[in-house]
């Protein structure tokens, strides 16, 4: 257990270092590289983004509150006091459409110091980093104590519907919505979206190629690592 107090940026860096020191390291041998590569188990970029978001969105009017990082054998939790800002929902957060700042001045300082990128992209970067590392998608939750971002070490079991299994079975490479409908023999676009596509995305089995532009005419869909694993591709 460790407690940090002081200016925002040094505390942010101290907590980040504490997490890296107290979570596992994984070793990998990459193709065409004879030297072993040691990396933090949880993607460092995702952890950084999670901490930056916690510092930027904490409710600082709650003097008894704060920011906490809990490290467990099967997960890492980063929490901050305060509810989601008005207009922000879990669905919007997961899609990277967050545009409401609780503390715009603090966010601006973090941006100027190079800790923050474009507003609203943090959640997308976190999810993408976990997927690329082969970890389950992280989850955000909200309760009376505040907002918590949880990284997992093992798969979270979910119930997959027959419709979702069908889309996983036919999705190869990158395909458009129309191509998927045609392969499945479905004519009703709204039914396909609600019963097949949205549940598959919500469960982290299918992802958009351009998540920052969900309505793009060039939008394509592909399996995530979870989707490929469910199909038996590892």
160/203 Cα distance (integer angstroms)? 8
- pLDDT of 94 reads 67
Q: What CATH fold (topology level) applies to the domain 8-152?
A: Heat Shock Protein 90 (3.30.565)
User: What was the pLDDT predicted at 157?
Assistant: 47
**pLDDT at residue 156, as a whole number:** 45
From first to last of the 234 residues of the chain, give the pLDDT tens digit: 899 999 999 999 999 999 999 998 877 666 667 777 788 889 999 999 999 999 988 999 888 889 999 998 888 999 999 888 776 767 667 666 556 677 888 888 888 888 887 666 678 888 888 888 878 889 888 888 899 999 988 654 456 788 999 999 999 999 999 999 999 999 999 999 999 999 999 888 899 998 878 889 899 999 987 788 777 665
Global pTM exceeds 0.95: no
Q: What is residue 234's predicted lDDT score, i.e. its pLDDT?
A: 53
Residues in the chain: 234
The Cβ of residue 40 has, within 10 Å, a number of other Cβ atoms equal to 17
- For 22-34, letters b (16+ CB in 10 Å) and e give ebeeeeeeeeeee
pLDDT for position 80: 94
**DSSP code string of 141-162:** EEETTEEEEEEESSPPP----H
Return the residue matching tokens 């070490």.
Answer: 153
CATH topology of domain 162-230: Arc Repressor Mutant, subunit A (1.10.10)
Relative orientation angle of helices 162-170 and 177-184, to the nearest 10 degrees: 110
Short-list 43, 59, 69, CA closest to 153: 43
Domains in the chain: boundaries? 8-152, 162-230
């Amino acid at each position: 257990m460790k407690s940090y107090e002081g200016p925002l940026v040094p505390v942010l860096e101290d907590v980040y270092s504490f997490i890296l020191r107290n979570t596992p390291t994984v070793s990998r041998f990459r193709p065409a590289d004879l030297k072993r590569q040691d990396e933090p188990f949880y993607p460092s970029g995702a952890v950084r983004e999670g901490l930056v978001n916690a510092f930027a969105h904490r409710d600082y009017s709650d003097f008894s509150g704060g920011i906490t990082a809990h490290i467990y054998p099967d997960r890492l939790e980063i929490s901050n006091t305060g509810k989601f800002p008005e207009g922000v929902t879990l669905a919007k957060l997961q899609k990277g459409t967050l545009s409401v700042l609780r503390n715009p001045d603090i966010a601006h300082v973090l941006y100027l110091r190079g800790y923050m990128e474009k507003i609203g992209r943090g959640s997308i970067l976190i999810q993408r980093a976990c997927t690329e590392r082969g970890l389950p998608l992280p989850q955000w939750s909200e309760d009376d104590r505040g907002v918590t971002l949880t990284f997992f070490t093992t798969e979270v079991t979910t119930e997959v519907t027959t419709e979702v299994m069908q889309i996983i079975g036919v999705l190869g490479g990158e395909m458009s919505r129309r191509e998927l409908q045609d392969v499945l023999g479905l004519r009703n676009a709204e039914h396909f979206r609600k019963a097949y596509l949205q549940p598959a995305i919500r469960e982290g089995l299918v992802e958009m190629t351009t998540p920052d532009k969900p309505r793009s005419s060039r939008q394509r869909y592909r399996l995530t690592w979870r989707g490929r694993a469910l199909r038996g591709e590892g």
